[in-house]
Every structure is written in C-alpha cells, then in structure tokens.
Amino acid sequence: MPSERPLPAIRIDAGGGGVRVALFGDWTLQRLCPLPDDLQRELAMAPPGGTWNLAGVTRLDSFGAVLLWRHWGRRRPSDLDLPDALAPVLARAEALPEHDLPPEPGYRFLDGTAQLGRGVHAALHHLLGFVALVGHILIALVSLLRRRDHWPLREISANFYKVGVRAMPVTALVGFLIGVVLSYLSALQLRAFGADMFIVNILGLGIIRELGPVLVSVLVAGRSGSAMTAQLGVMRVTEEIDALTAMGISRHVRLVLPKVVALTLAMPLLTLWGSAVAILGGMVSAYMQLGMSFDYFLNALPRAVPATNLVIGLGKGAVFGLLIALVACYFGLRVRPNTESLSANTTASVVASITVVILVDAVFAIATRSLGLPYG
C-alpha cells in the first residue's frame, strides 16, 4: 500500500574523510509534495559537493530527481553512489534544459493598455456569441411555427416545474424575511415622524416595483441559472450534445428553447408569488411594530400602489427570466470537455446573470420613472 512505503529521509555524517550524505526512503512526488520543513532544512544543509549515497532510496521519480539535480547545482557530486535502477531517472533530469521556465518579463509601459484591450476583445467575443445564440433560437422558433407538431412541450413543462414550482419555497422564505426586515426598519423611522401610514407606500412600491423582481431574479440566477449551465456543461463533457448533433437533432430546439421559454413564463409568476409573500411579511411586521391592522393595510395598498406598478414588476420578471436563461445557456454551450471549464463557466454564468439583471433594472427604472407613481 502507498501508505506503507518509507518516508524520505536524509542522514549527514561529518567525519575526517569529509561530509557524507545518505538518502533513504521514497523520493517521489507523493512523498515530497508538500516538502516537509525538517526535510527541507536538512537538504539545504547537505553540501552539494560531498559524498552522496543513494543506495537507500527505494523509489525515485522525476520530481525527486529534479529536486536533487537542482540542489547539486546541475552537476553530479564528485563521489556519487547511484544504483543502476535509479540511473535512468536521474539521466532524464540531467537532460532537462537549463531554464525550465522562461523568466517573467517586467512591467512595461503599455501592459495596462494591452490588458484593457484583451478585456474589451473578450467582452466583444461574448457579445457576438450571445447574439449568435439569440439568432439560433429565433431560427428555431421560425421552424417550429411552420411545424407545430415538433414543439418540445414535454421539455418545456419539465423545465417549468424545475425552475418555477420547485423554486417557490425558497422564494417565499426569502421574500417573507425581506418584507419583515424592510417593514421593521421603515417603522422605526416613520414612527419618529408620526408618519406610520406611509409604510404601506414604502412596502408596496419598493417590493412590487423594484425589490420583488430583482430579489427573485437573483435567487433564480443562483439556483436555476447555474443548474442550466451545469446541465449543458455536463452534456458537453460527456459528448451528449455531439451525439444529438450526429443524430440530426437541434440542440437549440431540444435543449435551449425549452429552458428559455419555461423561465420566461415562470419568472412573472415567481415574481408575483415572492412579492405577495414579502408584502405579507411586511404586513405582519407592521402589525407588530405599529399596531396597523391587516384590514387597513390591505385597503390602503391599492390606493398607495397603482396597478401600473404591478404590470411593470411582472414585465421585469419576464425580461429578467429571458435574460437569465439566455446567459445560462450561452455559458453552458461554451463549456469545453473538462471539469475546470465546467466550474469556470458555471461561476461566470451566475455572475453575468446577476450583473445583467441589475443593469437592465436600471434601464427599466429610467424608462418607467414617470409611470405608476401616485404622486408623480
């Protein structure tokens, strides 16, 4: 068993005939990485030009050979006892070039500009790939409109259940807690000015128009968006997507389109559900902090928050769901067949989705700044 193999060891004897260094145990990557501190100190104390005895070394791999070769200053000791079984390994280390890695260049004046250019080039590359994905989906929609019996209704239904129904518990929990916290903090300020009744306006406008859609979108991006990217990425690693292409099945019709349609339809409903539970939490907190009855809160809510805000919130949910699904599928399809690329693209998918949601929400806020405000 590997655990029963002897550990690497060094013995240094300083006698009248000079310094003698003897090595014992396994000098392999498994035993030497990470290099123990005591062994590192002993190796540093061993003179490279003394007498070296490697007869006690049971195993030697390229890592151990390179470690010794560099300690010797790329020159064999004058007196070296090397078993014949270890000679080929040491010979390979001696054949390595003098500089294994090129020296890292220093900072130059235009390095910052070059790095900025690479970032812009990468952003444009992602933008072109995203536009190409949207184009493929539109082409798939056109083909499905002509062949209505080819619609992937089962895939859409399954994705709707996964991204919509199964996300309701966590959405309700987070929404209720956010409503309680927002109502509690608002009540502390409004009570100081005797404006208790305006808590309905703050909760209604803040949750229905802004906080509800954004909060649900962040939760969906972290939960469903990452799952979409991971699913497509695993299919890329296991070559299932290539198998679909070989069978003449469109990946955009069977894999991408159901996710996009399902999340676009589910997000407005999730937004409505999350906003309703958040208002419920705010209503409970207002009752406990301000003594405001549920009947007064529910009667004042339609007067404080016009129905236009609900339409804006649901519209935001649909747009956010569409964008999250597109971003998730884009990063899932660009996964290379290795696990490192899978993890990197899954992380990039979540970060990009949340960033896009915040940017688009800012655009919505500017475009609808004069709509749905009771005192505008």
**8-state DSSP, 224:** I
Phi and psi based region of residue 99 (left: phi greater than 0; alpha: psi -120 to 50; beta: remaining): beta
Residue 317 is predicted with a pLDDT of 93
Q: Are residues 63 and 113 in the same domain?
A: no
Q: What pLDDT does 98 receive?
A: 65
Which of 135, 151, 167 corresponds to the end of one domain?
A: 151
The token pair at 335 is: 């996964």
**Structural domain containing residue 355:** 152-367
Residue 196 and residue 292 in contact, taking contact as beta carbons nearer than 8 Å = yes
In contact, 175 and 274? CB cutoff 8 Å: yes
- Taking the C-alpha atoms of residue 17 and residue 25, their distance in angstroms, rounded to an integer, is 25
**Same domain assignment for residues 240 and 194:** yes
Q: Could you tell me if 87 and 114 are in contact, meaning their C-beta atoms sit under 8 angstroms apart?
A: no
Q: Tell me, what's the pLDDT at 261?
A: 93
Coil, helix or strand at residue 368: coil
The angle at the Cα of 201, spanning 281 to 213, to the nearest 5 degrees, equals 60
Residue 110 DSSP symbol = T
Q: Please tell me whether residues 195 and 217 are part of one structural domain.
A: yes
Give yes or no for a contact between 179 and 277, defined as CB atoms under 8 angstroms apart.
yes
Q: Are residue 197 and residue 322 in the same domain, yes or no?
A: yes
Crossing angle of helices 212-220 and 307-333, in 10° steps, is 20
- Show the DSSP H helices in the chain as ranges: 29-32, 37-45, 62-71, 87-94, 111-146, 153-163, 168-193, 199-204, 212-220, 226-237, 240-246, 251, 257-290, 294-304, 307-333, 339-367
Sign (positive or negative) of CA dihedral 176, 178, 184, 187? negative
**Beta strands 79-81 and 9-15, pairing class:** unpaired
Q: Are 166 and 279 in the same domain?
A: yes
Which pLDDT tens digit goes with each residue over 312-325? Answer: 999 999 999 999 99
* Rounded CA separation 241/253 (Å): 12
Same-domain status, 46 and 133: no
Q: Which residue has the tokens 């609900």?
A: 310
Dig out the tokens for 29 from the structure: 């990557």
CA angle at 345 for the pair 342 and 348, rounded to the nearest 5°: 150
Residue 100 lies in a domain: no
Token representation of residue 27: 């000098």
Give a yes or no: residue 352 inside a domain: yes
Instruction: Give the sheet arrangement for strand 79-81, strand by strand.
Output: 9-15, 18-27, 51-60, 79-81
Residue 374, pLDDT score: 63
Q: What is the dihedral of CA 300, 304, 307, 310, to 10 degrees?
A: -100
Give the CATH number for residue 10.
3.30.750
The tally of domains found in the chain comes to: 3
Whether 310 and 217 map to the same domain: the answer is: yes
Task: Please name which of 244, 225, 253 lies closest in space to residue 154, comparing C-alpha atoms.
Answer: 253
Structure-derived torsion over alpha carbons of residues 44, 48, 53, 55, reported in degrees to the nearest 10: 70
Q: Would you say residue 375 lies in a domain?
A: no
For residue 310, tell me if it sits in a domain.
yes
Axis-axis angle for helices 212-220, 339-367 (nearest 10): 170
Cis ω before 34 (30° cut-off from 0): yes
228: Cβ contacts below 8 Å, ≥ 6 apart:
259, 325, 328, 329, 332, 349
pLDDT for 17? 67
Say yes or no: 280 and 176 in one domain: yes
Helix (H, G, I), strand (E, B), or coil: what is residue 207? helix
- Tell which of 72, 94, 116 closes a domain: 94
| One domain, residues 275 and 317 | yes
Q: List pLDDT tens digits, range 121-141.
A: 888 998 998 999 999 999 988
Query: Are 147 and 266 members of one domain?
Result: no
What are the residue ranges in the chain where pLDDT is below 50?
A: 1-3
156 and 28 within one domain:
no
Residues 192 and 247 both lie in one domain: yes
In a domain, 376, yes or no: no
Cβ count near 341 (within 10 Å): 15
In angstroms, the CA 142 to CA 332 distance is 23
